[in-house]
Structure 1
Amino acid sequence: MNSEVCQCPGCICELDDSAVRRGDQFFCCQACADGHHQERACRDPECPCTDRARQNSSDSQLDHSLEETFPASDPISP
């Protein structure tokens, strides 16, 4: 494997022989390949991609909460 970097957004890990392939993309570990599902950490605990994935998950949860709190069918208050 050459010295390419993992395709996970924010990941700084270089690929090695244990790289995980998804389609035409390569990832450093299964957690990155799965998009950090259930907040699984990158193989490198110092890698910023895990924090970025957690932030994206929090943002997504907040967006969902706002959608549930303010349904489009409610009238605008005067």
Structure 2
Amino acid sequence: MKEQTCDCPNCNCSVGTNGVERDGKHYCCQACADHHPKGQGCATSSGCKCGDKAQ
């Protein structure tokens, strides 16, 4: 099975086993699922900066 990419715009992280499902979409972390409130960063260890672009 192909790994699923996070549904957060500008994020290229894999959803993985700790992913969050909301409204039929799948996110790699809670910050992405919450649409980066107050610029909260992506919680993956890959150094993703999608939270910076969400503002």
TM-score (norm 1): 0.61
* Corresponding residue number in structure 2 for 1:50: 51
Contact 1:10 1:52 in 2 (8 A): yes
Gaps of 5+ in 2: none
Gaps of 5+ in 1: 58-78
Q: Percent identity?
A: 39
The separation in 1 between residues aligned to 2:40 and 2:7, in whole angstroms, is: 16
* Corresponding residue number in structure 2 for 1:7: 7
Larger radius of gyration: 1
Bigger helix fraction: 1
Contact 1:8 1:33 in 2 (8 A): yes
* Corresponding residue number in structure 1 for 2:34: 34
TM-score (norm 2): 0.84
Letter in 2 for 1:49: C
Match of 1:21, SS state, is strand
Per-residue deviation, 1:2: 4.8
Tell me if 1:16 matches 2:32: no
Bigger relative contact order (CA 8 A; separation at least 6): 2
Q: Number of aligned pairs?
A: 54
